[in-house]
Structure 1
Amino acid sequence: MTIIIFENPTPVVDVLQCHYPPNKMLAAFADTQAFMRLVQRTQRPLLHYWTLEQTVILGLRDRQLPQLSAGLQGLGQTGWHYFFRNAGGLGIPSDQGILNISLILPPNYQVTINQGYQMMTALLQAGFAAEKLALVPGEVATSYCPGTFDLSLGTQKVAGIAQRRSRGATAIMAYLGVNGDQPQRGELMRTFYQASGGQPPLFPAVDPQVMTTLAAFLPGLQVRQTLQMIQAGLQTQGTELDPLRFMDLLAEPEYQTYFNQAQQALIELNQPIQ
């Protein structure tokens, strides 16, 4: 069965890959906000791949944790960085074994929330179809950041999906566990929620054993290979990938203006928790 990602005939998708070191971790979401403005100019989708180094990305709901300061202190003691994103949901750890993927659609792509989730699901399913890995959607309640469109291999979650909408543009964002110590990531988040006083149903009772990585099924798999597989899945459907056009936009003042505005808002959001 063919998994349809874009219904438009032979769409062109811009492609961008970034790595954000700890001193630039807020730039990951400042870029997302800026890119949602720029796709209104390009009028075509952007596929943004990005990685972080040992950073927990916390959601706005996490700010409601009753002993949040204790949880944040525990993260710092383990050597993990953290910040709050300007979106709802819950925390996810991200390191160089996690590939973050943002599919950013301009306003001419009118998709419902459900259609947005389905597009990212189809994108990932198509990427691993050649390896006969069947990614199945469905909430894994005791994972960290559980959601209806969690993606699992067998009984274990490997990916989660979220969305953000602004000025008519839509960002569909996934985190994908490629390799690395997934039980350790799960234990990190279980300890964080325990220290922060988080209890179900608002916060998950994290079980580190319910999540895994793609490398558990494809030994030796690296992030770069994963990225190439996802792009190959797109190209099999006739999608043209352009790695150059969007890079040119990043040299223009318009991008810097949007980025600075978004980053300042994130800096204010991430003022120290008392």
Structure 2
Amino acid sequence: MNEALNLLCQPQWRVIDQSAAGMHFNALESFGMDDTLCESVGSGEAPATARTWVHHNTIVLGIQDTRLPFLTEGVQFLEQQGYRVIVRNSGGLAVVLDEGVLNISLIFPEAEKGIDINRGYDAMWLLIQEMFSDFNETIEAKEIVGSYCPGSYDLSINGKKFAGISQRRLRKGVAVQIYLCVNGSGSARAQLIKQFYDLAKKEEETKFIYPQIFPEVMASLSELLSAELTIADVMLRLLQRLKANSSFLFNGQLNPLELELYPGYFQRVVERNEKIGTI
């Protein structure tokens, strides 16, 4: 974990907090934003950046999900439940975003030797462990079979998943992204994704193996820690840990270069979704 700690210890941490903008902020904008930050941080035109974001009632699909044989039926079901459906540009499968889910993106510059992919994951895992160390619960990183968007860096407590991590690498910048189910029902979110796959795949044979979801293996941090956590509570914990791992922590916005780059990256995300037909 020493290498992960070294990665977390940045000379400066810029924080771009968009966690309160959920109702007025499209999730497509978030993925365009992280690509923009990858280029600016990777080129040395901006310091290491932590961006936080919350979106209301959005299902984010992975590229593999767009190949489901009855995708249209599944998307229609989600929209009937009041969710907007988009496709992201990083790896993974379908996840739920709502007002109880905090997303954190850590954007690092790739050093001369580069950042090993596991080192990026370990840095985020270590950060989450530090943020909730006062609860004296072991936070494991391993695949939770039966969860949605399963991966080897699913974060769990007592076998129940509350977070998933992905990475995006672009122009010498690395974005390590996590969704944290802070409050609400983790199993209810999983039940929604289960119904989506039941409708979008049915009994059809597919080359790609989609997850068989068991809602009971997912929960929120509030449920697992028996604590009424809010997004604001978790934001405070995040800021405290970033401050402890930096000599200079500051709130920031996009710089002039990033404002120039952003429209292009956003347009790419929009075009990808238009091509697939989700917007």
TM-score above 0.5, yes or no: yes
SS in 1 for 2:156: strand
TM-superposed CA distance for 1:6, in Å, is 2.8
TM-superposed CA distance for 1:8, in Å, is 7.8
Name which of 76, 80, 88 aligns with 2:91. Answer: 88
SS in 2 for 1:11: strand
Match of 2:74 in 1: 71
TM-superposed CA distance for 1:160, in Å, is 0.5
TM-superposed CA distance for 1:256, in Å, is 3.0
Q: CA separation of 1:221/1:266 partners in 2, compared to 1, >3 Å: closer, same or farther? A: same
Match of 1:203 in 2: 210
Q: Does structure 1 retain, via aligned residues, the 8 Å contact 2:62–2:92?
A: yes
- Comparing 53-62 with 36-45, greater Cα deviation is found at 36-45
So what's the TM-score if we normalise by structure 1? 0.90
TM-superposed CA distance for 1:186, in Å, is 0.7
Query: What is the identity, as a one-letter code, of the residue corresponding to 2:36?
Result: A
TM-superposed CA distance for 1:29, in Å, is 0.5
Match of 1:115 in 2: 119
1:115-264 counterparts in 2 under 5 A? 115-197=119-201, 202-216=209-223, 217-244=225-252, 247=253, 249=255, 252=256, 254-264=257-267
State the superposition RMSD in angstroms. Answer: 2.4
Q: Does structure 1 retain, via aligned residues, the 8 Å contact 2:91–2:166?
A: no
Distance in 2, Cα, partners of 1:9 & 1:181: 33
Q: CA separation of 1:100/1:23 partners in 2, compared to 1, >3 Å: closer, same or farther? A: closer
**Structure 1 unaligned spans of 5+:** none
- Comparing 223-232 with 7-16, greater Cα deviation is found at 7-16
Runs of 4+ in 1 over 4 A off after TM superposition: 1-4, 7-10, 198-201
Name which of 102, 109, 122 aligns with 2:105. Answer: 102
Distance in 2, Cα, partners of 1:3 & 1:108: 13
Match of 1:38 in 2: 40
Distance in 2, Cα, partners of 1:15 & 1:176: 17
Match of 1:56 in 2: 59
Q: CA separation of 1:48/1:209 partners in 2, compared to 1, >3 Å: closer, same or farther? A: same
The percentage of counterpart residues that share the same residue type is 29
TM-superposed CA distance for 1:265, in Å, is 1.2
Distance in 2, Cα, partners of 1:269 & 1:156: 33
SS in 1 for 2:54: strand
Query: What is the identity, as a one-letter code, of the residue corresponding to 2:127?
Result: L
Q: CA separation of 1:10/1:92 partners in 2, compared to 1, >3 Å: closer, same or farther? A: closer
- Would you say how many aligned residue pairs link Structure 1 and Structure 2? 269
So what's the TM-score if we normalise by structure 2? 0.89
Distance in 2, Cα, partners of 1:10 & 1:224: 24
Q: CA separation of 1:149/1:54 partners in 2, compared to 1, >3 Å: closer, same or farther? A: same
SS in 2 for 1:242: strand
Q: CA separation of 1:22/1:146 partners in 2, compared to 1, >3 Å: closer, same or farther? A: farther
